[in-house]
Amino acid sequence: MEIIDLRPAFDDYGPRRRPPRAFIVHHTNTPHAQRTRDVLARRGLSTHIEVTKAGDVLLYLDPATKTAWHAGSGNNADTIGIDLTHMEGEPFPQAQLDGLAWVIRHYADQFAIPIALAPDRCVITHAQGCQSGVLKAPDLIRLGYGIVRHRNVHTTVCPDNLPLERVVSGMRTGSSTRAARGGILASALAVLGGFLAYRLARGR
């Protein structure tokens, strides 16, 4: 896996007013990354990051300071756009899934984004798309979800057949791990303190 900094690859849509609080994951429906950049630029769209089929991470806009236009009105201000180079119907290579997992872990730790995947809101039907159950990103964030599919917030099949549950399964951010360890330590100290208080009360 290589991390390739191409920033700024797109015009941004204004500065961040607060740190990002969720990821929105897309597939590109393009055969390679240069085609992705061409299509997005022509359509007046952008994204923060693209993960190639080889698992390389292409940085397009700084998610800490720039807003990308990747998921429609009401969904961009608090989110990081992640695109995976992918033609509809193809499998996602394992190297690409590993690259996606690295991106999620890295930025989840940086911005304290919860590793919590929003439920898939539909069964993919390429003839009809997904027609119901759309929520805006702020609603999903309020529900505690930090990772959402594009089709959670827009009428689309994107990100196609991405096995996002498998990518996210078992993942923990460093901050989550530290918090868990802190909780275990606090519990142990509380038990020890209770035991010492009991011994002192009995005069031993």
Neighbours of 144 (CB within 10 A): 9
pLDDT of residue 86: 98
Neighbours of 169 (CB within 10 A): 11
pTM tops 0.85? no
Residues 6+ away with beta carbon under 8 Å from 141: 21, 22, 78
Q: What is the pLDDT of residues 148-187, one digit of tens each?
A: 999 999 988 899 999 999 999 978 644 443 333 333 333 3
Mean pLDDT of the chain: 84
Q: How far is 49 from 61, CA to CA, in rounded Å?
A: 7
Q: How far is 178 from 173, CA to CA, in rounded Å?
A: 9
Domain layout of the chain by residue ranges: 3-171, 172-204
44: left (phi over 0), alpha (psi -120 to 50) or beta: left
* CATH T-level assignment (fold) for domain 3-171: Lysozyme-like (3.40.80)
